[in-house]
């Protein structure tokens, strides 16, 4: 990173380009004030001197990175179609074909309440009940980010943001082809027509029909194929929010630089970190993907049985004692196959252990506000759960 900006920054006896780059990333990572960073860099403590030196250094690094570093790792122009196809996963290829699949999703960054009433109204989000700005991320199924666009006001929704992108930004057309897939969430429902007019095949989780309590089998299976690919963009946004400057409430003085900060962090993650989804056992994932696709095209035998037996909520059910049920013991590989993914299995034992009693047996707990309600938890510290 330093080699890419070294020639475009001025050197001085009090500040080298290496030191300026360190201060810039300290600001992003820790969100310390410029005075605090100046103290750590052993700058003079004269009034305003530390703040000015650190601020000027961070500003110079920001401009240099945007010109020399970010275009190499962020933006549709830095990719070819061959490279885009390399970022497709086994699941996206199995479910949607051997084309390019893109995932669109917005994320937000909290900001301070402004004294400008007009700006205050545009940045207020009725959903989050806070002032924020939004950025739209475009990623591949493996979590590699293609580009980010914004910022947009907090009152804008994902559909309106996408509409503006389609009108102003056609860089994706450099390598995108008709029939490529766009994976979105339900908030993009108002711009599906525009995406389809642009030549994309849109995949979105199904909506629950009116006066129905659950999705049909076909809609549930189609939704599961979408969510199996879409989770990577949420995990990627989680990576970004680990930078303190972007995860905390951003000071209004930094508002003009938010988009630049986000783009620099995204480019750095693309450059130095592996994609979110980079499995080592590809054969196992291929088996899971083929199984999911096959089951999504099969009949729901359980639903047919319930319908044929005329079972409903008024049916008299028989209580079954857990002692008389021969429940199978499943290892981790069998659970992965059964649920088609990890689903935080690595954290499940930690979640269970927090409810263990000292003897590792049943734990009966009364409700704090309703003593007549008893919770029963089954615990086994020394056995598989």
What confidence tier does 150 reach under pLDDT thresholds 50, 70, 90?
confident
Task: State pLDDT tens for residues 18-71.
Answer: 888 988 999 999 988 888 888 888 776 655 567 788 888 888 899 999 999 999
Residue with tokens 């600001």: 27
Is a pLDDT exceeding 70 seen at residue 367? Answer: no
Question: Whole-angstrom Cα distance, residue 139 to residue 100?
Answer: 11
Of 25-34, 199-208, 289-298, 330-339, which range is least confident? Answer: 330-339
Q: Are strands 363-366 and 201-203 parallel, antiparallel or unpaired?
A: unpaired
pLDDT above 90 coverage of the chain, percent: 15
Question: Whole-angstrom Cα distance, residue 85 to residue 98?
Answer: 8
For the chain, the average pLDDT equals 81
C-alpha 186 chain-centroid distance:
15
Question: Whole-angstrom Cα distance, residue 262 to residue 150?
Answer: 10
Mean of pLDDT values over 255-283 = 88
Task: State pLDDT tens for residues 187-204.
Answer: 888 888 888 888 889 999
Is a pLDDT exceeding 60 seen at residue 373? Answer: no
The secondary element (H helix, E strand) that includes residue 233 is helix 217-240
Is a pLDDT exceeding 80 seen at residue 240? Answer: yes
Would the CA dihedral through 233, 239, 240, 242 be positive or negative? positive
117 with 211: CB under 8 angstroms? no
The secondary element (H helix, E strand) that includes residue 118 is helix 117-123
Distances from the Cα of 122 to the Cα of 125, 130, 150, 153, 167, angstroms: 8, 11, 14, 6, 21
Task: Return the bridge partners of 152, or none.
Answer: 134
What confidence tier does 161 reach under pLDDT thresholds 50, 70, 90?
confident
One-character DSSP codes across 33-61: -HHHHHHHTT---STTHHHHHHHHHHHHH
Of 82-91, 222-231, 349-358, which range is least confident? Answer: 349-358
Give pLDDT, residue 208.
Answer: 86
Give pLDDT, residue 344.
Answer: 64
């Amino acid at each position: 990173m330093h080699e890419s900006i070294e020639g475009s920054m001025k050197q001085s006896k009090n500040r080298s380009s290496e030191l300026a780059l360190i201060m810039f990333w300290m600001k992003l990572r820790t969100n310390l004030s410029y005075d605090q960073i100046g103290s750590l860099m052993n700058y003079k403590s004269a009034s305003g001197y530390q703040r000015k030196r650190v601020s000027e250094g961070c500003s110079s690094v920001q401009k240099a990175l945007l010109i020399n570093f970010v275009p190499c790792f962020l933006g549709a122009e830095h990719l070819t179609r061959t490279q885009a196809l390399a970022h497709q996963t086994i699941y996206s290829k199995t479910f949607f074909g051997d084309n390019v699949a893109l995932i669109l999703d917005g994320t937000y960054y909290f900001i301070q309440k402004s004294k400008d009433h007009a700006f205050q109204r545009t940045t207020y989000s009725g959903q989050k009940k806070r002032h924020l700005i939004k950025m739209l991320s475009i990623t591949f199924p493996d979590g590699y980010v293609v580009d980010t666009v914004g910022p947009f006001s907090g009152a804008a929704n994902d559909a309106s943001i996408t509409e503006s992108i389609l009108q102003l930004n056609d860089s994706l057309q450099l390598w995108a082809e008709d029939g490529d897939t766009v994976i979105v969430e339900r908030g993009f429902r108002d711009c599906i027509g525009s995406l389809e007019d642009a030549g994309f095949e849109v995949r979105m989780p199904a909506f629950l029909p009116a006066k129905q309590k659950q999705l049909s089998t076909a809609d549930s299976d189609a939704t599961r194929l979408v969510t199996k690919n879409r989770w990577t963009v949420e995990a990627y946004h989680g990576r970004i929010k680990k930078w303190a400057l972007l995860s905390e409430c951003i000071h209004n003085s930094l508002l003009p630089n938010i988009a630049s900060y986000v783009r620099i962090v995204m480019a750095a993650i693309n450059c130095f970190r592996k994609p979110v989804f980079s499995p080592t056992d590809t054969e196992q994932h291929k088996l899971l993907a083929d199984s999911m696709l096959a089951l999504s095209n099969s009949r729901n035998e359980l639903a047919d049985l319930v319908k044929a037996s005329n079972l409903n909520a008024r049916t008299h059910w028989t209580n079954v004692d857990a002692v008389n049920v021969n429940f199978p013991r499943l290892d981790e590989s069998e659970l992965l196959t059964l649920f088609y993914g990890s689903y935080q299995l690595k954290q499940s034992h930690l979640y269970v252990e927090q409810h263990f009693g000292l003897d590792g047996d049943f734990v009966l707990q009364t409700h704090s506000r309703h003593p007549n309600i008893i919770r029963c938890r089954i615990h086994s510290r020394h056995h598989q759960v």
